[in-house]
Structure 1
Amino acid sequence: MDEQVRIMNGQKSQKVFWALGLCGMAAIFSSTLSKIPVLPLYALHLGANEAQVGWIAAASTVPGIFLSFYAGVVSDRYGWKRLLMLALLVFATAPPLYLVVNDSLQLAVVRFYHGIATAILGPVAMAAIVSNSSHRKGELLSLYSSLTMIGRATAPFVGGFILTFWGFHGVFLICALSGFAALVVGVSIKLKIENLTVPKNSQNLKENKKLSNLREIFFHRPLVMVGMLETVVFFSFGAFEVIFPIYAKGLGITVGLIGVIMGLQLAGIIIFKPVFGRLSDRIGRMPIILAGLMLCSLAVGGLFFCKNILFIGIMNVGFGLGFALVTSSTRPLAADIARKGEVGASLGIISTLMDLGQVAGPPVVGMVAAFYGYQAGFLLMAAILAGTATIYVFILARLKLNSPSL
């Protein structure tokens, strides 16, 4: 009987995971479709200048910095289903608003509104997955990430095709349909596993409030250390995405080949991240993270020494695999070390630190590249990644965070 119950619970958990994965893939596809390549072109169509286009694009990132943590806190207290539905409702209702805006300011407001959905979905979906997978956190969180990356990777190709033949209205119609499809799948999730929900009595609510306080979170040193890992690796990844195409074009590599090289990097991340996550479930998080940091450092540092196209392609893919190694283990590690009642808050703060790193990377490395050249920018990223790996060997090893069974 116990074995039958375990099998039934496992099947239900699998259904919940795949429903969440489909929601995430459709929602991120919709969000990315509204941004790449249509957003800059639509902003110019509305009369925005180049500087305003940058601010409009950044508007959707701001909610992630400020809301991800609080979305996690609320999911800890009231369960993930309500917040999931709120995020999916925004994904479904934001796309039609693009068609009724008349100027760049209104477009920025819509982008901010759309960004609220992304800010909520990330930590809440991860909290839901953690609540349903006690021993497979690394594998399933990584698989969820890969599913969302599939949505993110296919959106630009679909967006370019639709924009060519059906214009802006066609793009935003597909955005709306995709967002609505995510909402329909979310509504179909009937199973309510409330492992993250705090029992409704005053003492427990008081304790949860204390644990979910931002100040308390930041004094949880192991979590902050893991969050800084996310900051560093996304700092480098965000900068790499921006400066590598410019650097490669300067070497005479064609735009098409640059796209192939970066596409191979993305494919490697999507394919191998779940594999690395499963490996971290078995052997521990820290060996995977440290291996990833060192591979990222070696790969991006290698671009400083060679201008051969084949070598550049190998280094690019190597950087992607290193990124997959690190990010396959940081989120599960954050869930492992989260204190009782604050898994969502912990994953939320990790998402916030990730956004900060990704936002800071391009301008910081871009300034270095502007003054000292792109190779100096790559060398700076390599030094930061190697230095982080060295520091964490000593700090996180002392905190004994390696066990996947924490």
Structure 2
Amino acid sequence: MATVTHDNEERRDPRRWWALGALIASMLVLGFDSTILNVALPTMARELGASTGQQQWMADAYVVVFASLMLPAGLLGDRFGRRRMLIAGLAVFFAGSLAGSLAGDATSVIAARAVMGVGAALVMPLALAVLPSLFAPDERTKAVGAVSAASALGMPLGPIVGGWLLDHFWWGSVFLINLPMVAIGVTAGVFLLPETCDPSSPKVDAVSTALTAAGLGSLIYAIIEAPSRGWGDPLILGLLAASGILLTLLVLRERRSVRPMLDLALLARRDLLLNTLAATLVMFVLSGLMFVLPQYLQAVRGHDAFATGVRMLPMMGGLLIAARGTAPVVARFGPRPVISAGLTVLAFGAFLGSRTSVHDGYGFTALWLSLVGLGFGFVVVPAMDAALGALPTDRAGSGTGLVSTVRQVGSAIGIAVFGSLLAGAYTDRLDTSALPHGAARAASDSVVGAHVVADRLGDRALAASANTAFLHGMNLVLLVSGIAALVSALLAAALLPRRESARTRAEKNPAMARAPEDVRQ
């Protein structure tokens, strides 16, 4: 046996760890880009004159394209080569990042972010898909964990890195930082990764892909534009109707397909559906808060970009603490009470945050941010674990893609809904009666724009009004987030499938507790 093991070790590619390092660098970039732009938005709004709606699109263009193309991108890799498509995805991401760093207006930034979303959709599923060809089963778990951890680590690092870059360079540096790390990933892909494919995988359904992208895009465009146009505007109503029709056609098409790209039949499994919805809800809430918070810290509190990134760490700290402590708690009590408790903590943190006033210090903000992060971590980890654990083994690939896509959709809608809620409340409360038309419009576009106008005119009353109006909008966002989380906590406690903890099973049947693990299963 020892000889066999030694032979296996010799047959393993010694370059596999270098390849893993390059994949980790690539995933770290994707993690950065989920949060690094948030801290840059106030700076970009000031220098590019971007309205709140344009800022929402800067964040959402990436997420909408990412969510729409993740499933077909994975299938392209299966059919035409995972290594080839992974390198193509990194190259597209490189091009989008370069274009973003050179953009001269908000529209160009939005277009560059959409291109980056195309690249990310290829990289995310295929970075994990190539690992089985690199690592034997005894090393694969460690490799998958390292790649997944890199993506998660990018989230708390994003605001810090972005803030430091903005304090020392121009705003385009938050895009330029991607280039060397992506270049490492491309080089490693060319020289280190083996090619694998699965010609028997389902074909990419161009019609379903188009229906997904058009349906989600129409919905999110309507939500973002509604505060300025009004919910009764014919364009908004038309877009909402078009979105409903397109997404209905998608569902009907996928249900009739023999080998669907979007395997909606999996959502008929109650445990998978409910746990996926729980994970999606917290992504919805977190994405909205990550859009609102940097504007509060920079425009209202007056912190620079780096200080803003540092002050967002309590939320990420709470998230990481919860993520590390979830496993033993779930093992003892089961996922249902942990998810319900996490949603309750998230709701309490949001309700506490909704009491923020213009005069509160940072200590109060750090307190409720920590609770929000803690609640988020205790929901998303067990919910995702339970959702993926509910997948049939023969449909794990399509099921994982479906769960990831639904979560990305939740993120995109969270940015759109909470950004629009903030924009509407801010505009209603802002006093621009004494301003000329052009200045009033610029001030109404965003709190950053209001401060630019106030500084130019020396109008302290406008700055104070903008701060009060923004706090009103932010507190409304937090209040709605708290209500949604609390209702979800009650529904989770009532509806999530009950799975007994190991301790409970042992108390009911001591003999089973002493049995080997494979017998107990």
TM-score band, normalised by the shorter chain?
A: 0.7 to 0.9
Change (3 A) 1:94 1:241: closer
Comparing 64-73 with 316-325, greater Cα deviation is found at 316-325
- The structural deviation recorded for 1:91 is 2.2
Query: Which residue among 362, 365, 382 is the counterpart of 1:326?
Result: 382
Counterpart Cα distance in 1 of 2:4 and 2:268? 36
Counterpart Cα distance in 2 of 1:30 and 1:380? 26
SS of the residue 1:219 aligns to? helix
Equivalence for 1:84: 86
Please say if 1:267 is aligned against 2:320: no
- The structural deviation recorded for 1:274 is 6.7
Counterpart Cα distance in 1 of 2:370 and 2:34? 30
Q: Is contact 2:101-2:176 (8 Å) kept?
A: no
- The structural deviation recorded for 1:74 is 2.3
Residues 98-156 of structure 1: per-residue CA shift (max 9 Å, x gap): 24444433332211101112222222223334675757887754543321232333233
Residues 301-328 of structure 1: per-residue CA shift (max 9 Å, x gap): 3347767958746633431430453266
Residues 70-112 of structure 1: per-residue CA shift (max 9 Å, x gap): 1122233344222211111122222221244444333322111
Q: Is contact 2:93-2:119 (8 Å) kept?
A: yes
SS of the residue 2:496 aligns to? helix
- The structural deviation recorded for 1:363 is 5.3
Equivalence for 2:392: 337
Change (3 A) 1:113 1:260: closer
The alignment-based identity, stated in percent, is 17
- The structural deviation recorded for 1:384 is 1.1
The alignment yields a C-alpha RMSD, in angstroms, of 4.7
Change (3 A) 1:212 1:152: farther
Equivalence for 2:264: 218
Equivalence for 1:25: 28
Change (3 A) 1:68 1:316: same
- The structural deviation recorded for 1:46 is 3.8
Counterpart Cα distance in 2 of 1:396 and 1:208? 40
Counterpart Cα distance in 2 of 1:45 and 1:237? 29
Structure 1: unaligned runs, 5 residues or longer? 398-402
- The structural deviation recorded for 1:357 is 1.6
Answer 1 or 2: higher relative contact order, Cα 8 Å, separation at least 6: 1
Change (3 A) 1:53 1:139: same
Query: Which residue among 143, 147, 150 is the counterpart of 2:153?
Result: 150
Residues 161-185 of structure 1: per-residue CA shift (max 9 Å, x gap): 2333332454443332233233233
Query: Which residue among 188, 192, 214 is the counterpart of 1:189?
Result: 192
Counterpart Cα distance in 2 of 1:228 and 1:140? 29
Amino acid at match of 1:348: G
Equivalence for 1:236: 282
Equivalence for 1:115: 117
Alignment of 1:33-72 (within 5 A): 33=36, 35-39=37-41, 41-42=43-44, 44-72=46-74
Equivalence for 2:240: none
Q: TM-score, normalised by structure 2?
A: 0.59
Amino acid at match of 2:344: L
Amino acid at match of 1:295: A
Task: Count how many residue pairs are aligned between Structure 1 and Structure 2.
Answer: 382
